[in-house]
Copies of this chain bind each other. A is one copy, B any other.
Amino acid sequence: MKRIDWNALDEGERAAVLQRPVQAVSDAVRSGVAAIFDAVVADGDAALRACTRQFDGVMLDDFEVDVVEFDAARASVSAEVQAAIDEAAGRIEAFHRAGIAAPYEVETAPGLRCERVQRPIARVGLYVPAGSAPLPSTALMLTIPARLAGCIEIILCTPPRKDGTADPAVLLAARQAPGVRVFKLGGAQAIAAMAVGTERVPRCDKLFGPGNGWVDEAKRQALQRPGGIAIDMPAGPSEVLVIADAGADPAFVASDLLSQAEHGPDSQVLLVSDSDALLDAVAVEVDAQLAQLPRAAIATQALSASRLVWVRDITQAIEVSDAYAPEHLILAVREPRAWLERVHNAGSIFLGDWTPEALGDYCSGSNHVLPTGGAARAWSGLSVASFQKAITVQDATRAGIAAAGPCAATLAHAEGLQAHARAVELRLERAA
């Protein structure tokens, strides 16, 4: 792991330290995804079958998981894992339910009411990857807020296994939305199917979920299509930034860095500390713990691009973090709550020594679908609101148009929009 003294760097060098490896989409991925979209538009399910044979190595006649497969999934997942899924679901639901926005209303003039109401997005498309490992936790993070939002049709795609079935734990987790329809489709073809619609896969209004570069590019291309399809956020490699002071436990910090690093060789790991001794101790601990990990090869690759950054104090550490805008930020400092207000850019924050990122990944209750790649500057992690849209409503009486109409007419004339003015003035004449 590369050791850096932040205060020995000039501005350009600092920017370089915080630079993520450019996730430049290769022309091959871009044109590959475009070709998949073209094929799905032209040939529908037949194109999905061809892609699934080519990319997943399995020939499927029907992609949809039926009741027999759902029942088999329930039978094959251990009671311990089922209980853990239920327990996690309970906490995720409790937290997400608290975030359901209430409608509101303001009388902005006598006789003029303005309101904002929420409506579920009718058809949502969820993607649960299974790249290096199937992720039932992601199915929980997508289906629970979709159900709480009241979405009418919930479609979930996840790649088929070699035997043509879906991961049973993913299916069990998906049933947190009881009416969910699960299709065994992976990668760009899954996104294209939900964006475009085929004979069997409904066209969705908004697409959700993480994925690899192909999935991310497919979501971006979906956004370019006419009809106003939406996506949750851009998806990139997972990342953590840990701020640790001299009092932090080096073993805990090392375990947090490693749990990020094992995600994939492109995972981003940064440790920022004002303590040289802590940085030394964590480096030693990382090596010790790494030796015991089954996914050590992946973690080692990720760590090779990681950085240990020495800063003057925790104030400066927060500045470094805000400039980086990490997906996950761990504040392994004394009195972490005192620093919370200073943080402006992060997807999710983990306070103190006893809150590992892994807790939020599974079952603290917060959502683990979070902005990566610096997107935390402008994007939020998923919530129930991500599965709804708001509609404003205005309701004027004769008194209302009399009160607010003249202002509208004046501005309409000022903008040279006489028909706008006329629509108001006509009513003002009649209301008088």
CB <8 Å contact, A379 and B417? no
CB <8 Å contact, B422 and A255? yes
CA distance A400 to B24 in the complex (A): 41
Q: Given contacts A133-B415, A255-B423, A404-B359, are A230 and B379 in contact (CB under 8 A)?
A: yes
Q: Given contacts A363-B407, A408-B361, are A228 and B223 in contact (CB under 8 A)?
A: no
Is the CB of A74 closer than 8 A to any CB of chain B? no
CB <8 Å contact, A423 and B259? yes
Interface segment, one of A153-161, A272-280, A293-301, A306-314: A293-301
CA distance A400 to B91 in the complex (A): 13
> Which of A137, A383, A396 has the largest count of B CB atoms less than 10 A from its CB?
A396
Q: How far is the CB of A8 from chain B (nearest CB, A)?
A: 26
* Band of interface residues on A: 35 or more
CA distance A84 to B377 in the complex (A): 35
The listed residue (B226, B405, B418) touching A22 by CB distance below 8 A is: B226
Residue of B whose beta carbon sits closest to that of A400: B354
- State the A residues within 8 Å of B (CB): 20, 22-24, 80-81, 83-85, 87-88, 91, 94-95, 98-99, 101, 104-106, 108-109, 112, 114, 116-117, 119-122, 132-137, 169, 205-206, 220, 223-224, 226-230, 234, 236, 249, 251-252, 255-256, 258-259, 261-263, 289, 292-295, 299, 325, 336-337, 340, 343-367, 371-381, 383, 385, 389-398, 400-401, 404-408, 410-412, 414-424, 426-427, 430-431
Beyond the given A352-B395, A356-B424, could you list 16 further A-B residue pairs with CB under 8 A, ordered by the A residue number? A88-B407, A99-B116, A117-B340, A136-B411, A136-B415, A220-B224, A228-B325, A294-B416, A295-B418, A337-B395, A348-B393, A354-B401, A356-B423, A357-B423, A363-B408, A381-B390
